[in-house]
Structure 1
Amino acid sequence: MGKLLLLDHDQISLKLDRIAWQIIERYFGEKEIILLGLVDRGTDIATKLKVRLTASSDLKVQLGTISLDKNDPFKQSVSIALETNLENKCVILVDDVLNSGSTMAAALREVLNHNPLSVRTAVLANRDHHKFPIQANFVGISLATTLKEHISYEEVAGQMTVSLS
């Protein structure tokens, strides 16, 4: 089976716009939020969301990254790169695709060690095959796929795509 295009660049842009507006509505009255992108593609999505959030609201948006081994997220250390602390802050974990939930669960475990006020998740694509009690709060597209199918986000020459293979 080859790749099946699920979302093209324009569709992804609209999904990111919608996610940004949902975040603005959810955090109405807050002064600051922190977007933590899971390296690498989650960081790309978080960066795109920050641009939309700052253009459309007065929210102060801090951008950071979470680095971990996505193949074995619980065995290796998880590191957060951020210029501020997370204590009593509203945090959104951002990734491209939520698959089993293991990567997001490992990231959440590390974030909770820093006493945030709240933690939510934002993903471009959500699969319904979670192994952990992780849910996506802000979602571009939700898909029920087989366990053998793979959803991928790519950006090549400035053009974003989400595909199923």
Structure 2
Amino acid sequence: MKQRTILDEAQISRSLTRMAHEVLERNKGTENIILLGIKTRGEFLADRLQDKISQIESVEVPTGTIDISNYRDDKPGQTVNAEDIVIDTDLNDKHVVLVDDVLFTGRTIRAAMDAILNSVRPSKISLAVLIDRGHRELPIRADYVGKNIPTAKEEIINVALMEVDNENAVTLTE
């Protein structure tokens, strides 16, 4: 198997800075924006995005996590849990920006939207992903993308983050 680096630490940081600017520009600031990171790596990317927005605007955007494991369509019969969304802010009538590491088939994002809409009614849900690799099975697209990487289905994208993997890199394994 051949592995090559797609993004190094500096490129990840620059991508997140650009995404933070895009979020602010499209929403004309930080009002009513909430970042919700999809566990596991999405939660750390949401924290990093929050830091970038804070550096730009000097405002701390509410940030939380969402665990979609009870909403996956490949695990029927799962029970819904009130602790699936962890944030100390009401999501009703807010613009929720879902944050994840890789957008592939779209099924994780569908599960995240199901989890949110099961309990609250945001004014808008948008999606920020570090990597969009294509191969959608559902009609879902990201609003904010760090990098588009067209891949073959059998290729593997690995996102390594310091908080989990002790390094920052995005690699493609063929």
Deviations along 1:125-153, whole A, 9 cap, x unmatched? 00110111111100000121111011111
Q: Distance in 2 between matches of 1:112 and 1:133?
A: 17
Amino acid aligned to 1:101: G
Work out the percentage of aligned pairs sharing the same amino acid: 37
Contact 1:39 1:67 in 2 (8 A): yes
- Structure 2 residue aligned with 1:48: 48
Contact 1:36 1:93 in 2 (8 A): yes
Amino acid aligned to 1:154: A
Amino acid aligned to 1:83: D
Amino acid aligned to 1:41: R
- Structure 1 residue aligned with 2:112: 107
Q: What pairs up with 1:1-165 in 2 under 5 angstroms? A: 1-69=1-69, 73-74=72-73, 75=75, 76=78, 77=80, 79-113=84-118, 114-156=120-162, 159-165=167-173
Q: Distance in 2 between matches of 1:33 and 1:46?
A: 12
Q: Distance in 2 between matches of 1:9 and 1:28?
A: 28
Contact 2:19 2:146 in 1 (8 A): yes
Which stretch shows the higher mean deviation, 105-114 or 127-136? 105-114
Which stretch shows the higher mean deviation, 150-159 or 130-139? 150-159
Q: What do you get for the CA RMSD once the two structures are aligned?
A: 1.9
SS of 2:151's equivalent? Answer: coil
Q: Distance in 2 between matches of 1:62 and 1:163?
A: 30
Spell out structure 1 runs of 4+ moving beyond 6 A: none
SS of 1:65's equivalent? Answer: strand
Deviations along 1:17-55, whole A, 9 cap, x unmatched? 000000010111552311000011000100000000011
Return 5+ residue gaps in structure 2 as ranges.
none
Residue 155 of structure 1: CA displacement? Answer: 2.1
Contact 1:33 1:59 in 2 (8 A): no
Higher strand share: 1
Q: TM-score, structure 1 length as denominator?
A: 0.92
Q: 1:133 to 1:111 in 2, by over 3 A?
A: same
Q: TM-score, structure 2 length as denominator?
A: 0.87
Q: Distance in 1 between matches of 2:34 and 2:58?
A: 14
Q: Distance in 1 between matches of 2:89 and 2:13?
A: 29
Q: Distance in 2 between matches of 1:91 and 1:3?
A: 35
Residue 2 of structure 1: CA displacement? Answer: 2.8
SS of 1:23's equivalent? Answer: helix
Residue 66 of structure 1: CA displacement? Answer: 0.5
SS of 1:92's equivalent? Answer: strand
Amino acid aligned to 2:85: I
Contact 2:19 2:145 in 1 (8 A): yes
Aligned residue-pair number: 164
Which stretch shows the higher mean deviation, 87-96 or 148-157? 148-157
